[in-house]
Amino acid sequence: MARCVRKLPRSRCGLRVSVWCVYCKKEDYNKENLFNSMNYDVAAKKRKKDLLNNKTKIQYFHQEKWIYVHKGSTKERHGYCTLGEAFNRLDFSNAILDSRRFNYVVRLLELIAKSQLTSLSGIAQKNFMNILEKVVQKVLEDQQNIRLIRELLQTLYTSLCTLVQRVGKSVLVGNINMWVHRMETILHWQQQLNSIQITRPAFKGMTFTDLPLCLQLNIMQRLTDGRDLVSLGQVAPELQVLSEDRLLWKKLCQYHFTDRQIRKRIILSEKGLLDWKKMYFKLIRCYPRKEQYGDTLQLCRHCHILSWKGTDHPCTANNPESCSTSLSPQDFINLFRF
């Protein structure tokens, strides 16, 4: 703004200086008010942003626990459903508290961390980290599934290291410092899991080793991960012998893999017998293991609605249960590949 001062006679020089001072003070006062107003606006916006961030610490919540999966625009619906939208709408936050759904959600988080993290929206990425934090806290409290979550965190950290290096290509949503902070959080979680010391319960009743051998074998046959068998064999010398049982490893191989896959990876022991234990660990490096979950997401073939089993959704079929198809975590990811 140009400053204009009315010229006054020399005889009124003192008055002219006074008018100039008053004008300058008034202009400075206006500038100060404008500056304060701008500060107030910035502070108000910051408070709103902080409030939003605090609210998004809790998973973005929708009243419906189902989502309509559509891959194109129609007269009734515009656009298409994305992986991030489905991740926000389905109740994964409470699903991890259900032991039947826990492994399913963890496997889904692992698949997203491997290849689908960049396809999530900003709010979906926040929900992903919030759910992951709840998973870690649950494991720290229960002291169960420690190895499973360690592998999940390592997978996520490795993926983020790759993505952060390519941040110039805009593969991540948000500020780089935010992602660095998230990576530091993941490292902190890993340290917490590594420092867990499982205490022996004070219970003095019957233990696993007190059971008859046939019952011990029956229980061990229900383990679907060979690493669990190896860990169980390290508990006691008598369990070490049982964990090396050939029939046990044979059933484990036949459970996860087809006969054709097994024939391609035959390994013989020094005695000329099939070494099923070595074959198992070789097979898992070559083929995916069979996945089995207590509860899964289901897709209604009639109305194309995705929901958890037992969740009511507005289906017009006469028998909605007959139209539902269980989805594996990989099937869920494949739904949103266009």
Considering 18-27, 77-86, 159-168, the range whose residues carry the highest mean pLDDT is: 159-168
Higher pLDDT, 284 or 235: 284
Three-state secondary-structure class, residue 247 = helix
Residue 61, pLDDT above cutoff 80: no
274: phi then psi, degrees, rounded to nearest 5: -65, 125
Record the pTM: 0.72
Check residue 284 and give its pLDDT: 93
Residue 79 confidence class, pLDDT cut points 50, 70, 90: very low
Q: What is the per-residue pLDDT for 28?
A: 53
Q: In the prediction, which pLDDT does 8 show?
A: 44
d(CA 128, CA 59): 9
Q: In what order do the strands lie in the sheet with 324-327?
A: 66-68, 305-308, 297-300, 324-327
CA dist list (Å): 335 to 82, 85, 156, 286, 329: 9, 12, 22, 25, 10
Share of the chain above pLDDT 90, in %: 31
Query: Please, are residues 111 and 329 in contact by the beta-carbon 8 Å criterion?
Result: yes
* Cβ-Cβ contacts under 8 Å for 211 (sequence gap 6 or more): 219
pLDDT of residue 279: 94
Distance CA(220)–CA(224), nearest Å, equals 9
The band of 5, judged by pLDDT with boundaries at 50, 70 and 90, is very low
Q: Per residue in 167-216, pLDDT tens?
A: 555 567 777 888 889 999 999 999 999 998 877 767 677 888 888 988 99
pLDDT tens-digit readout, 110-132: 999 998 888 888 888 888 999 99
Range of weakest confidence among 123-127, 319-323, 325-329? 319-323
Position with higher pLDDT, 333 vs 169? 333
Single-letter amino acid code for the residue at 4: C
Distance of CA 278 to the CA centre of its chain: 32
Among residues of the chain, what percentage have pLDDT more than 70? 75
- Residues 122-142 as b/e (b if ≥16 CB within 10 A, e otherwise) read ebbbbbbebbbebbbeebeee
Residue 90 · residue 54 · CB < 8 Å: no
Average of per-residue pLDDT values in the chain: 79
Four-residue CA torsion sign, 136, 137, 143, 145: negative
Greater confidence (55 vs 223) lies with: 223
What is the four-CA torsion angle of 26, 27, 31, 32, rounded to 10 degrees?
-30
pLDDT tens column, 220-274 = 998 889 999 999 898 888 889 999 999 999 999 999 999 999 999 999 888 888 9
User: Using 50, 70 and 90 to split pLDDT, how confident is the model at 71?
Assistant: low
Check: CB of residue 258 under 8 Å from CB of residue 273.
Answer: no
Distance CA 14, CA 9 (A): 10
The beta-strand segments (E) located in the chain are: 66-68, 297-300, 305-308, 324-327
* pLDDT over 50 at 289, yes or no: yes
